[in-house]
Amino acid sequence: MKTIKIIALILGLCFTFSCEDQLNVVPEDNVASNTVFGSLATINGAVVGIYSKNQSGDLNGMPQLISEFMSDNVNFVGSFPALQDIDQFETLATNGSIDNIWIDAYELIGAANNIIVNLPDVSTEDVTGLTEADKARFVGEAKFLRALTYLRLVNHFAQPFQFNGGSNLGVPIIAMPFEGGDISEFQLERSTVNQVHSFIEQDLLDAIASLPADNGERAESGAARALLARLYLLREQWTEAADFANQVITSGEYSLAANYDFYDDNPTSSEHIFVVINTPTDGPQDESVPGSDEVYVNFFNPAPGGRGDAPFSQDLIDAFAAEPGDRRFDELSQAASDAGGNDTFFTTKYPDIVNNASDGMELRITEMYLIRAEANFRNGSSVGDTPLNDINMLRNRAGLGDLGTVDLDAIALERRKELCFEGHRRMDLLRNNLNLRPGGGPESAPGANKVIFPIIDDEIVNNPNITQNPGSF
């Protein structure tokens, strides 16, 4: 059974090396820059530090939450003004939640760049125990995490590829090391969406070439292939999307789980390709206040300690009700009152409320079946299997009967019900030229100004070369 990719700040990791050669990892934040590359332990600590940055609630939690309530999956009833503004498509450049996503993302990118740029020049003769294979693997991990982060950024701060064929402005690309998340000092204009996507693609191709098929608790080649399949889907490169999704499916490293126990309580499930594991002592939190940066509590009902801010929308409830008996609703939802006292349902995909340590879903094998099905259907192909067989496999696990035929609407519906609350819905609607809200007005229509985030105020004020998104101030 496949061990999931636990993205946590782990001391004494035992990977590739024998257990007798365990490393005493020093977190990247605690290693002076001039000593990072002096030993195998500190180099590994710097890489683990990138994973730790990826645990930030602003990178894992907030994007999922925002993507779901900006779309038709969640009825947001929370009281945070910054989130209310996003929900109402009134986001300002001074919005604190948006600022945190931008800053934390570029902080991770700077840390990844440090490894990507500097590690290749470190001589293995000067560092005891360091091999060329270690160097390639570390750089591959950094490139995967950088690609993952750039895709988050461009998905939220730029209109999708479909808006103007990717020629519209994306986000600034920085490939050199830097500290902190403030990039205004570089005075960069934003690269286009196509340029950002190309940068991500190359990072992932490099990661595929340098990462092993099984990398223990860390990113591996299958994760890079899976993220590349997602990128190609977003770009409507159907042949490539089907091919890379199929590579992951047929790799033998992952398999569809028999049930839904993999959500947060089955760390050995074959379902997972890449997931952020949070624990009570090592999770998305401010170092001084454990649990303070945990975002997934918003999805859980208030009764056991959740915030109750993000229940099912009525539209999503109706989608499940149209075909009763769906285990994805019956087993993964809970009836309760939301923060406003309304009777509704909440997802149980993020159940560790007591410890404020629910895990973040990033990539799982089910998404690969959905990507393969959609890409094959749109392309008139059957790479790996037919769209009908892929969709029926997922429906059977959900306790539903086979469909006799399948079309794009059926694929989109299965994708919605399978991936709800995992942060996919907003982009799925935008890339398909659909309004984010049922019967929504022009403010939530594809291409509208506020379906994407404004470039943060600090960047606009301090960088005269950067262009703000239309309608933002």
217 contacts 15 by C-beta, under 8 angstroms: yes
Residues 6+ apart with CB under 8 A from 281: 290
> Which of 146, 147, 139, 141 lies closest to 115, judged by CA?
139
Contacts made by residues 12-18, CB under 8 angstroms, sequence distance 24+: 13/44, 13/48, 13/216, 13/217, 14/216, 15/215, 15/216, 15/217, 15/218, 16/133, 16/134, 16/137, 16/216, 17/129
CATH architecture of 1-219: Alpha Horseshoe (1.25)
> Which of 144, 361, 370, 150 lies closest to 274, judged by CA?
361
> Residue 293: what pLDDT?
58
Residues 6+ apart with CB under 8 A from 101: 58, 59, 62, 63, 152, 153, 156, 453
Separation between Cα atoms, residue 447 and residue 432, nearest integer Å: 11
> Residue 34: what pLDDT?
56
Separation between Cα atoms, residue 314 and residue 337, nearest integer Å: 14
Separation between Cα atoms, residue 133 and residue 250, nearest integer Å: 25
> Residue 19: what pLDDT?
31
Say what the pTM is: 0.92
Separation between Cα atoms, residue 467 and residue 191, nearest integer Å: 10
Terminal C-alpha separation, the chain: 51
Residues 6+ apart with CB under 8 A from 277: 4, 6, 7, 8, 267, 359
> Residue 35: what pLDDT?
79
Helices (H) and strands (E) in the chain, counts: 17, 4
Neighbours of 250 (CB within 10 A): 12
Task: Collapse the DSSP code of 363 into the 3-class scheme (helix H, G, I; strand E, B; otherwise coil) and give the result.
Answer: strand
> Residue 127: what pLDDT?
95
Separation between Cα atoms, residue 453 and residue 323, nearest integer Å: 35
Neighbours of 318 (CB within 10 A): 11
> Residue 352: what pLDDT?
79
What are the structural domain ranges in the chain?
Answer: 1-219
Taking the chain (473 residues) in consecutive chunks of 10 residues, what is each chunk's mean pLDDT?
36 33 35 73 96 91 94 94 96 96 97 97 95 97 98 98 98 96 96 98 98 92 98 98 98 95 77 84 52 71 83 97 98 92 92 77 96 98 98 98 98 98 97 96 96 98 97 85
> Residue 204: what pLDDT?
98
> Residue 354: what pLDDT?
73
> Residue 11: what pLDDT?
32
> Residue 5: what pLDDT?
38
The count of C-alpha atoms lying within 13 angstroms of the C-alpha of 350, restricted to the half-sphere facing its C-beta, is 35
> Residue 15: what pLDDT?
33
Residues 6+ apart with CB under 8 A from 411: 370, 373, 374, 377, 387, 391
Kindly report the length of the chain.
473
> Which of 267, 16, 21 lies closest to 134, judged by CA?
16
> Residue 266: what pLDDT?
65
Neighbours of 53 (CB within 10 A): 23
Q: Which helix (H) or strand (E) holds 337?
A: strand 333-337
At residue 230, φ and ψ (nearest 5 deg) are: -65, -45
